[in-house]
Amino acid sequence: MKDLISSFYKNNRIKLQGSCSPRLLVVRASDAIQKSADQAYPFYQNSDFWYLTGLNFPGLILVIAPNEHFLIVPTLSKYKQIFDGQIDREELISKSAVDTIYNQTEGYFKLKQLLLQYKEVGLPSPYLRLREFQILNAPYFVVIKRLLSRLANHKLKYISINRELAQMRMIKQPIELEFIQKAIDITISGMELVLANLKQDSAYSKPKVLADLSYSFLSRGSSGHAFDPIIASGSEAVTIHNSDRQHLIASDQLLTLDIGAEYNHYSADLTRTFIPSKALSRQLEVFRAVQDVQTEAIKLIRPGLLVSELEKEVQMMIGLHLKHLKLIKEPSPNLIRRYYPHACSHSLGLDTHDLADYSQPLAENMVITIEPGIYIPEEGIGVRLEDDILITKNANSNLSKALPTELVI
C-alpha cells in the first residue's frame, strides 16, 4: 500500500510535467500561519503540493525537472528542531518517491542552474477565488520573489499550470475514489450517530452534535472535519453557512447538518435536513420540494453534461416548486435566487470545493456534489440535501446512497 501511494504521487508529477509546456515546474508547500502570540493555526498542506508529494510538512519546495524530482527543505533553527522535531529526509523520500533532498543553499543553487537552462518555469498561480476577508497565503509569492531576486539579469518566464492541475485533479484515480468513499462512509456514521442521539436525548445541543461528529470521525481514522460543520436549527438554516454552535436544538424545528469527514486529505460533503416527527405540513412541503429536485437532478448526471446546463435545469426545477409553494409568481431567475442563492454542484476531492475546470463537460471518474436547497427567511424554513455523485461511463453512481435522504427524528 505504501509503495502504491508513493507511486501515485510520482506518477502525478510525471503526468503533470507531460501535460505542461514548461519542462521545469516548481510547487511550494503551505507555511505555518500565525494564529496569535506564538501559536500557529493547525498546519494544513496545500492540496496541489499534497497531490504531487503526499508530504504534510510546511515550507518545502518541490522541483520537477526533466531528469530529476527533488525537494528543497527549509533550514530549521535548533529551537524549532527541539520543539517540532527534525526533518527526516529518508521519510520524505520514501513517502513521496522524489529522487533527492537538498538543503536551501544546495537546492536554490541547483534550481538557479535549471532556470538558466530552461528559461521558463511552471507554477500554480495563486488562486483568485478569494472570498471577502480572506488573505492570500504567501508561499508562491515568496518563491517568485526569491527566484526573481536571484535572476534579476535574466529573462525568465512564469507560466501558470493551474489548468493542467485542474484537468488532472478533476478526474479521480482508483486510489482517490477509495479515499473519498472512506470519507463519505465515515461522514454517514456521524450522521447516524447524531440521528440516534436526537431521538434519545431531549437535551441534545449543538456542542453535543459537534462532539459526536468529531468522535465519529476521529475514531474511524478520519483526520477530522474537512470544513467547519454547519449545524443549523430551525430558522438558522436560512443562513447557508450558519456557524453558530451554541444554541440548543429546537425539537419541533428542522435541523440541517452540512458536514464532511476528511480521510487521507480527501473530503466528503453531505447535507441532510432532519425532520421532526411532528413536522408541520409546510415544513414537509418544502422538504419534499427539495427532495424532488435532488432526485431529478441526480438523474441528469452523465458524461457530456455541462455543469452550467445542470445548474440551469436545477434552477428551473426549483423555480417551479417555488411557484407551487406560492413563494413566487413566475419562475424567473431573479425571483428564484431570493430563495435559492447558491449553486447546486461542485467538484469534490482533496478540497471540498475541489480544483476544477467547469467549462469542461462532466466525464467518467469525476466526483461532484448535488445540493439543491430552498430557504424562506420570512417563514424561518431552510432545507438543503446533498449527496456525492461519481460520474460513471454511462451515467452516475451515488456514493452516499447508504444514507437515506429522509431522516425523521
By CB under 5 A, name the binding residues for Mn ion: 269, 369
In angstroms, what is the minimal distance from the CB of 270 to Mn ion? 8
Name the residue nearer to Mn ion (CB basis): 187 or 369: 369
Q: How is 274-331 classified by DSSP, letter by letter?
A: EB-TT--HHHHHHHHHHHHHHHHHHHH--TT--HHHHHHHHHHHHHHHHHHTTS-SS-
Name the residue nearer to Mn ion (CB basis): 161 or 183: 183
In angstroms, what is the minimal distance from the CB of 185 to Mn ion? 17
In angstroms, what is the minimal distance from the CB of 169 to Mn ion? 17
Closest-CB residue for Mn ion? 269
In angstroms, what is the minimal distance from the CB of 384 to Mn ion? 9
Residue 237 · residue 247 · CB < 8 Å: no
Using alpha carbons, select from 270, 289, 293, 229 the residue that is nearest to residue 387: 270
**Cα–Cα distance, 257 to 133 (Å, whole number):** 25
Name the residue nearer to Mn ion (CB basis): 48 or 269: 269
Scored b (16 or more CB within 10 A) or e, 174-208 reads eebbebbbbbbbbbbbbbeebbeebeeeeebbbeb
In angstroms, what is the minimal distance from the CB of 347 to Mn ion? 10
Name the residue nearer to Mn ion (CB basis): 235 or 369: 369
How many CA atoms does the CB half-sphere of 20 hold within 13 Å? 29
**Cα–Cα distance, 313 to 345 (Å, whole number):** 12
Residue 183 · residue 240 · CB < 8 Å: no
Using alpha carbons, select from 399, 342, 404, 333 the residue that is nearest to residue 373: 342
In angstroms, what is the minimal distance from the CB of 242 to Mn ion? 14
Name the residue nearer to Mn ion (CB basis): 233 or 369: 369
Name the residue nearer to Mn ion (CB basis): 66 or 224: 224
**Cα–Cα distance, 161 to 15 (Å, whole number):** 12
Return the C-alpha cell found at 159.
507560466
In angstroms, what is the minimal distance from the CB of 369 to Mn ion? 4
Name the residue nearer to Mn ion (CB basis): 98 or 230: 230
